[in-house]
Structure 1
Amino acid sequence: MTRKRTYSITSARIEIWASAIIWVIARLNFLFDSQNPNNISTDTICDFFDTKKSTVGNKATDIEKACKIRMGEEGLCNSEISDSLSFVQLPNGIVLTKKMAKETGLS
């Protein structure tokens, strides 16, 4: 049996929640990847808000679970990332990434 967890945004400092939201967006956009030209470190986020990485990482995971955020989430991800991770099914049953469908003019 599982328990439903409730979240209270008043249970932590506002800086923790703010840094966790930025952490979620950065993670979804692969900004922690050193190969990304726009990369940012987790230390940079936590230093700016004066928060601890473990706390912020845990809150970020809580946000993703509570809001059911997934990789490629439209509105939170760069459109190129979102299109690469989203799929469309054509009338003939073929499944393509949204990016491929756009490139071939099928979307």
Structure 2
Amino acid sequence: MYDEIITATDAFCLRHLDEEYAALCAKLSAKLARKRPSPLVRGDRRIWAAGIIYAIGRVNFLADPNQEPHMRTDTMADLLGVKQTTMANKGRLIMDTLNIGLMDPEFSRREIIDNNPMTWLLEVDGLIVDARNLPEPLQVEAWRCGLIPYVPAQAATSRASTPSE
């Protein structure tokens, strides 16, 4: 079941979107597969794949023409061979089940994360600070604690998504 869904999301994303969308869809699929009981065991695999792509697209504003890549939901449904309402309903169910919101850092593209100030706000000694302005050792510690998605000081020099250890 999981492999069929990943095959479908990868094929769609690599053909119509990009590798980053494919990786985020795989991450979301894995999270759904680990949930007990996994909702993926019931229902049409195509609909699950479409719902996963829809959910990741929604988190990242895929339907917004100012985004690159972008795609309207009706076009996505046509390309996936499913009804738009069915795809959207499954996507919303996925988002509700896993408590995923718009711009959720766990399922956001790098560009969305970089431009979302809420991702970087931390409380340090009672003050709200932007983690991107902290010294690198504190950024590394915040990353290790899961408070920020990557270490900005290291990404600025290497564009790496994780700090070197």
TM range (shorter): 0.7 to 0.9
Select 1:30's aligned residue among 61, 75, 83. Answer: 61
TM-score normalized by structure 1? 0.73
Who is 2:102 aligned against? Answer: 71
Per-residue deviation, 1:105: 3.4
For residues 24-76 of structure 1, give each alpha carbon's deviation from its aligned partner in whole angstroms, at most 9, with x where no partner exists. 11111111111113111112221122101111111111001111112332331
Who is 1:105 aligned against? Answer: 134
Select 1:82's aligned residue among 93, 113, 137. Answer: 113
Instruction: Find the aligned partners of 2:40 and 2:134 in 1 and give their Cα distance.
Output: 44
Per-residue deviation, 1:11: 4.3
TM-score normalized by structure 2? 0.51
Q: Would you tell me which structure has more helix in proportion to its own residues?
A: 2
Structure 2 residue runs of 5 or longer lacking an equivalent are 1-36, 140-165
Alignment: residue pair count: 97
Select 2:76's aligned residue among 35, 41, 45. Answer: 45
Q: CA RMSD in A?
A: 2.3
> Which amino acid in 2 is paired with 1:105?
L
Who is 2:127 aligned against? Answer: 94
Relative to structure 1, is the Cα distance of residues 49 and 105 closer, same or farther in structure 2, using a 3 angstrom cutoff? same
Q: Matched residues, percent identical?
A: 27
Who is 1:9 aligned against? Answer: 40
